[in-house]
Structure 1
Amino acid sequence: MTAPRILLVIGGGIAAYKSLDLIRRLKERGFSVRAILTAGGAQFVTPLSVATLTAERCFQDLFDLTDEHDVGHIRLARDADLVLVAPATADLIAKMANGLANDLASTALIATTAPILLAPAMNPTMWENAATRRNVERLTADGVSFVGPETGPMAERGESGLGRMSEPLDIVAAVERKLHGRREGPLVGLRVLVTSGPTHEPIDPVRVLANRSSGRQGHAIAAAAARAGAEVTLVSGPVSITDPKDVTVVRVETAREMLEAVERSLPADIGVFAAAVADWRTDGAPQKLKKGGGGPPALSLVENPDILATVAGRADRPRLLVGFAAETENVVAHAKEKLARKGCDLIVANDVSPASGVMGGEANTVHLVSADGVESWPAMSKGAVAEELVERFAASLGRPA
């Protein structure tokens, strides 16, 4: 059989040094690798190093007379089974999202019909920038896949956060999954949509209405669904925990942004709405509200959209729709009422009163409420809850364990 052909685009970031080991790891697993080295990437690794490891010429110039006599950038784009961008810088991500093509790398990316996998690498502030988030969401909607980024120390001295490029072996595993697909698990072939974390509703430029949700339960469910073979999209509010492996993550801030991201991510076979969405928002003052002699300002609250009920009413409603009920009293009674009112198939209810330690903690005690009755589970870790829930989801859809 012909070796799978990878076109590797090496962007201009310090993480480019990992691309050399990445090439070696891909070659060890039988992949054929060609590489495009951007001008920025060439500031960190040399064309000779890349060419030596790939055993192919290192491609750099869009207007190279030797390569372009037969429209070389089109040939490179079409001769690949997968295009891998590692590191995928903020600049390359922005070019792709906006369809720019002003060098060999960006031209090949817009000319390919092969699957594209990006391994982002940048400073945490750049990764969290609103423009980068919009670009990532647009590319995700266009079918581009991501691996990482990871949390850890940055090149800048003393700085750490979310933005490190995934390690070469993790990227290789993502390449293999993208090309060959998952071959086991009860959710193979299914799409799962999960919401997680809180939403932040601006009061003014520095203050928000929020809650204490850590996102641990929603993220654990997304990770468990991915391990079960599903294609998973995680729509996450602001959290400080690491993204789950093998999951497409869409980051949002507000309830309205979360609803928009959810609707863009449909259709799905299973929808799990674990996010603690703020019920209300304010109009949001354009400047910081200041203390004055007249007492605190009055906040006018507006009800946020009901994401779960909205999805339940759509024509492309997931076959299995799961809501969460975070309560501080009468947990089961409130969950039963929510099940009927929201139009979902299952409610996962839990006690989030301060004494429980659930919100922001590592453990959870849940009650599964459905039309068939109530099932109360013992206290367990949020990871164990996630695994049990995913098994239940698979059984509900008649998938073998």
Structure 2
Amino acid sequence: MENWNFSPPSPSNLGDHDVPLVGNHLKNKKIALLITGGIAAFKTPLIARSLRREGANVVAFVSEEATRYVTLDALEWSTNNPVITQLTSAAEHLSDRTPFDAYLVAPATYNTINKLRYGIADGVITSTLASALGRMEQGTTKIMIVPTMHGSLHNSILTESLTFLDSLGVNIMPPRQDYGKNNIPDERNITVELCRLISNSPLKTIPILVTAGPTPVPIDNIRRLTNRFTGRLGAMIAEELYLKGADVTLIQGESSYHPPDYLPYQLAKTYQDYFKLVMDNLSQKSYQFGIFSAAVADYQPETILPGKTPSGEALQSIKLIPTLKVIEEVKNKFPSLYMVTFKYQEQVSHEELMNIAHERINQGYPVVVANRGEEMEEKQDHIAYLVTANKSPKKMIGKQEIAQEIVRHCEVISNPTDEI
């Protein structure tokens, strides 16, 4: 624990009920958060604020049983909206005037799931869900439930109800299973899956391969040659795609950075692992896009030394030979893949960097994300340029903007008639 000099926190522009935005995937979306009477209800203020961090407008519907585990004040504070605890002449369960884009039932108890399956509408939650089902069948909303209960309640009746609801089109998020229970997942994981569910991006369900991070080459059984890049930007690109609903696979080079657990990724410990994973993935699935942001090793030892080279002695010379250029191998073997490649340079001017990027485009690569170390050091931020054949290079500042612009470019390519 660090020492505190008892100084107050720095001033902030955020109000007491405000949340810092981490994205805009739920911007202008109205979400009904339906809270049932399980102990996990105490986490729902965190879920509400997590949804709002993606721009959502959240309204909480709360059963009487749920108020044993979470207070109405906490929910009103975290949603910044009045909480609905009973149905009145305003017909809150119908929400005709301001319909919801999605209904999230978290936690979803054994009792509520089975009532939903059999069409029982005997309270604020079940009546709201009955109307939501009708809207879902009309194609105007989505429903996601998060089953949360003790393992002994996960019986054949529950399984039958979940199977039936799944067949209707209700999205069922897998619980976090620990200690013999179906536990509620982390609030960020819930938010991510809801973003994917209601996304209308042209990239939804499109297979996309993303690579990130370093690709070390071994010197001996212990030592490796690597670089300082972590793969965080590539993982942010993959996360942006995942939130859009894309069928994304991330190949992550081993480093100090680990992607979020909800991202589907494969770990490449060496350059050879990386090369094999890229080729295997592209051979096994028809990917539409490949985004190659990995800092791939350019050289490898001609011979890997056996065992562990003794320390404290002069190391014999290591002859380095060029590695195969992965993007060249991919381009030759998978010519229909739309490739986004990266080019990092140092000790070049901006004009020279653009020339290098266009040289690669002339070789048949449609997009190059180019940057140079000097500019990044000067601005103390990650700066890159999205370079294509027919448009002026687009300057991007910060990893988040770079990730968003790359994804936006892929959306336009995927469906050029849509305005993104």
- 1:322 to 1:223, Cα distance in 2 relative to 1, 3 A: same
Instruction: Compute the displacement of 1:189 (Å).
Output: 2.8
Number of the residue aligned with 1:304: 323
Aligned residue number for residue 345 of structure 1: 366
CA RMSD of aligned residues (A): 4.1
Distance in 2, Cα, partners of 1:220 & 1:362: 19
In the TM superposition, what whole-angstrom CA distance separates every residue of 1:27-80 from its partner, at most 9, and x where no partner exists?
379656xxxxxxxxxxxxxxx94224x466899xxxxxxxxxxxxxxx9xx999
User: Quick check: 1:236 aligned with 2:252?
Assistant: yes
Q: Is the 8 A contact 2:361 2:368 kept in 1?
A: yes
State the distance in 2 between where 1:191 and 1:24 align: 29
Structure 2: gaps of 5 or more residues: 1-68, 70-104, 115-148, 167-171
Establish whether residue 394 from structure 1 lines up as the match of residue 416 from structure 2.
no
Task: Output one character per residue of 1:56-108: Cα deviation in whole Å (capped at 9) or x when no partner.
Answer: 6899xxxxxxxxxxxxxxx9xx999689585499xxxxxxxxxxxxxxxxxxx
Q: Secondary structure at the match of 1:377?
A: strand
The structural deviation recorded for 1:257 is: 1.2
2:291 to 249, 253, 272: 272
| Corresponding residue of 1:327 | 345
Q: Residues of 1 paired with 2:164 and 2:244: CA distance?
A: 32
In the other structure, the counterpart of 2:387 is 369
Q: How does 1:245-256 map to 2 (within 5 A)?
A: 246-256=262-272
Partner of 2:224: 208
Task: Tell me, yes or no, if the aligned pair for 2:189 and 2:262 is still in contact at 8 Å.
Answer: no
TM-superposed deviation, 1:388: 1.6
- Taking a change above 3 Å as real, the CA distance of residues 30 and 383 of structure 1, as seen in their structure-2 partners, is farther
Of 263, 271, 274 in structure 2, the residue corresponding to residue 258 of structure 1 is: 274
Q: Deviations over 1:269-316 (max 9, x none)?
A: 1110000000111132122223577x4411122322221111111246
Aligned equivalents of 1:30, 1:173: Cα separation in 2: 21
1:158 maps to which residue? Answer: none
CA distance in 1, matches of 2:355, 2:316: 36
Select which of 151, 156, 174 maps to 1:50. Answer: 151
Q: Given that residues 202 and 414 in structure 2 are in contact (C-alpha distance below 8 angstroms), is that contact kept between their aligned partners in structure 1? A: no
Secondary structure of the corresponding residue to residue 258 of structure 1: helix
Structure 1 residue 364 displacement after superposition: 1.8
Alignment of 1:45-194 (within 5 A): 49-52=150-153, 54=154, 86-87=176-177, 167-169=185-187, 181-194=197-210
Check conservation: 1:255, 1:278, Cα contact below 8 A: yes
Aligned-partner residue type, residue 399 of structure 2: K
Q: Which has the larger radius of gyration?
A: 2
**Ranges in structure 1 where 5+ consecutive residues have no aligned partner:** 1-20, 33-47, 60-74, 90-118, 120-164
- The 3 A distance-change label for structure 1 pair 291 and 51 is closer
Q: Which amino acid in 2 is paired with 1:51?
A: S
Aligned to 2:72: none
State the 1:265 CA deviation: 2.3
Does structure 1 retain, via aligned residues, the 8 Å contact 2:232–2:259? no
With normalisation by structure 1, the TM-score equals 0.56
Partner of 1:6: none
Percentage of identical aligned residues: 22
What is aligned with 1:25? 107
State the distance in 2 between where 1:296 and 1:309 align: 34
TM-score by length of 2: 0.53
Contact persistence 1:325–1:347 (CA under 8 A): yes
Aligned residues: 268
Aligned 1:11-22 pairs, distance under 5 A: none
**Partners in 1 of 2:226 and 2:107 — Cα distance?**
44
Q: 1:333 to 1:85 in 2, by over 3 A?
A: same
Cα 1:188–1:376 change in 2 (3 A) is closer
**Aligned CA distance change for structure 1 residues 170 and 316 (closer, same or farther; 3 Å):** farther
Q: Secondary structure at the match of 1:322?
A: strand
Shift in CA distance, 352/209, structure 1 to aligned 2, threshold 3 Å: same
1:383 corresponds to: 400
Change (3 A) 1:83 1:395: closer
